């Protein structure tokens, strides 16, 4: 059941991606390309420790991944005081935890740092659970669903606490990954996968040291989320 539960988390927490995640070092950067996974995180940590001259920047292109994996990477980035650069796409847990953790947050022109919820969201998409149970014999399905939902509830509770401590440490608004789900944006978000903030709204939400940069690298991810733009009137602080 552990493997099934993990696959449900991955399906629910990221955009579709068939490519294997790869990480490598290039000059002063560690590059992370693909879904957030525990294995890829370990590879990043090992690569960093092997470098005599430590990379200063994590450049990431990712559709997201499970909450705990994003938090793990974000906590490590903060601890090692790395910059985070996004020139293509950073969505879901990548946007929630990795991008905010950067000492400097380097945002390419045209890059998407997109949000669509987190552990404090009021509702969750359970379609991944239904899809995963489709091939389970009917007499086992309801019991397995109850077990998975109980595990999911425990997982959300644990990571809610972890996220709260993480955002407090960074000085980031606890509403960073849920504001676009609030009632005031209900009509605006219809038909969208999530939302992006304007650079000024990012700063209002606590994403300090944000810089807009040029990066010549072409976009790699073919599937991009459909996002709406969320603006905040200064000097609002949520």
Q: Output DSSP code: residue 219.
A: P
Residue 16 has pLDDT above 80, yes or no: no
pLDDT tens digit sequence for 81-128: 999 999 999 999 999 999 999 999 999 998 999 999 999 998 777 666
Mean pLDDT of the chain: 89
Residue 3 has pLDDT above 60, yes or no: no
pLDDT tens digit sequence for 138-180: 777 788 878 888 888 899 999 999 999 999 999 999 999 999 9
Residue 12 has pLDDT above 90, yes or no: no
Arch. (CATH architecture) of 2-230: Alpha-Beta Complex (3.90)
Confidence of residue 6 (pLDDT cuts 50, 70, 90): very low
Confidence of residue 134 (pLDDT cuts 50, 70, 90): confident
Confidence of residue 15 (pLDDT cuts 50, 70, 90): low
Helix axes of 138-170 and 2-13: crossing angle, nearest 10 degrees: 60
Highest-pLDDT range among 6-20, 36-50, 212-226: 36-50
Burial 117-139 (b: 16+ CB within 10 A, else e): bbbbeeeeeeebbeebbeeeeee
What's the mean pLDDT in 52-78? 97
């Amino acid at each position: 059941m552990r493997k099934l539960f993990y696959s449900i988390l991955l399906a629910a927490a990221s955009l579709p991606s068939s490519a294997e995640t790869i990480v490598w070092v290039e000059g002063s950067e560690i590059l992370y390309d693909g879904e957030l996974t525990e294995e890829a995180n370990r590879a990043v940590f090992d690569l960093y420790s092997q470098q005599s001259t430590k990379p200063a920047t994590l450049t990431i292109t990712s559709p997201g991944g499970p909450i705990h994996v994003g938090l793990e990477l974000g906590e490590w980035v903060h601890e090692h005081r790395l910059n985070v650069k996004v020139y293509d796409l950073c969505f879901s847990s990548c946007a929630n935890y990795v991008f905010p953790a950067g000492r400097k947050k380097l945002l390419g022109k045209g890059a998407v740092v997109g949000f669509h919820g987190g552990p404090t969201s009021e509702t969750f998409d359970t379609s991944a659970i239904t899809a995963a149970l489709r091939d389970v014999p009917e007499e086992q399905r309801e019991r397995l669903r109850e077990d998975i939902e109980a595990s999911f509830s425990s997982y959300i509770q644990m990571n809610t606490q972890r996220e709260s401590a993480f955002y407090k440490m960074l000085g980031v608004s606890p509403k960073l990954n849920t504001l676009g789900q609030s009632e005031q944006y209900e009509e605006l978000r219809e038909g969208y996968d999530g939302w992006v903030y304007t650079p000024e709204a990012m700063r209002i939400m606590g994403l300090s040291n944000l810089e807009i940069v040029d990066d010549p690298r072409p976009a790699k991810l073919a599937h991009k989320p459909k996002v709406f733009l969320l603006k905040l009137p200064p000097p609002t602080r949520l």
